[in-house]
Amino acid sequence: MAIYDKSVEYISGGSNVPEIKEFFWKWRRSHNPQTESSLDRWFGPMIRPNTVGMADLGVFGGTVADEFGVTANGMQAVSQWNAPGSGPRSTEHRMMLSKEMALPAPAGMAGGMGGGMGGMAPGMVMAPMAEGKAAAKEEPAPAGGKAPLVQPTIRTKFADTALWVGALTTEKDGTAEVSLDMPENLTTWRIKVWGMGHGTKVGQGQADVVTRKDLIIRMEAPRFFVQTDEVVLSAVVHNY
């Protein structure tokens, strides 16, 4: 938890703390599976060098009557394999043609299922921040009816950081309380909190509060002057 002057971010150009959720959940793992099987390999007949191999005989080549069928484009298998007059074809060529003549799959079986799960971080649990209202302490009026005059004070305690807590354990409902004496800066303070829970659930939040006084007098004088100079001292009164 950090409480600091908001004007510091204007000077630095913004916060130097990155988003905690992206730090834990923006990266992804990559998986590239590879599979091999001996069923994907095939070999033809082994023939000695300079030896004529055995070939299919007949006008239909290596086909038989049971292998006649209709291809996807309506042509008979025999017309694409060894048609009369075309001569026998190799086993490799017949295997290639058999893949091209595969009939379409039945309805409902074609297509593949695919999908992915986006990298979503689990639900972020943000610790609620209570809105506090600071009220000036009023002195009771004396018996005479007139309120006593407020004694003027000079502000001396100035700081850029009001509070920094490196580790803070919350209650079961996710809330936590801290107490501090605010510096006397009349400015806007930025409150930032970062939290982490079980299962690497992370989150962060911020809020702004303003410290001010109801009545302020600012003296106005020249930036510098020397002896024998005549100057006019004035004051600016802010009544909120």
- Domain boundaries defined on the chain: 1-12+155-240
159: CB partners within 8 A, 6+ apart: 5, 183, 185
| Structure confidence at residue 64 (pLDDT) | 64
Predicted confidence band of residue 136 (pLDDT cuts 50, 70, 90): very low
Helix (H, G, I), strand (E, B) or coil at 22: helix
Neighbouring C-beta atoms of residue 164, cutoff 10 Å = 9
Helix (H, G, I), strand (E, B) or coil at 65: helix
Each residue of 216-235: pLDDT tens digit? Answer: 898 898 889 999 999 999 99
Instruction: Give the E-state strand segments of the chain in sequence order.
Output: 2-5, 161-164, 188-196, 202-210, 215-220, 234-239
Exposed, middle or buried by CB within 10 Å (0-12, 13-18, 19+), for 184?
A: middle
Residues 88, 61: contact at Cβ < 8 Å? yes
Residues 161, 191: contact at Cβ < 8 Å? no
- Kindly state the percentage of the chain with pLDDT values over 90: 28
pLDDT surpassing 90 at residue 210: yes
Q: What are phi and psi of 45, to 5 degrees?
A: -65, 145
| Structure confidence at residue 158 (pLDDT) | 93
Closest CA to 154 of 209, 212, 218: 218
| Structure confidence at residue 177 (pLDDT) | 93
Tokens of 19: 């988003």
Closest CA to 101 of 125, 117, 118, 78: 78
Helix (H, G, I), strand (E, B) or coil at 72: coil
Query: What is the rounded CA–CA span in Å between residue 169 and residue 1?
Result: 11
Q: How wide is the angle at C-alpha 215 spanned by C-alphas 213 and 218, nearest 5°?
A: 100
| Structure confidence at residue 139 (pLDDT) | 57
Q: Is pLDDT larger for residue 62 or for residue 125?
A: 62
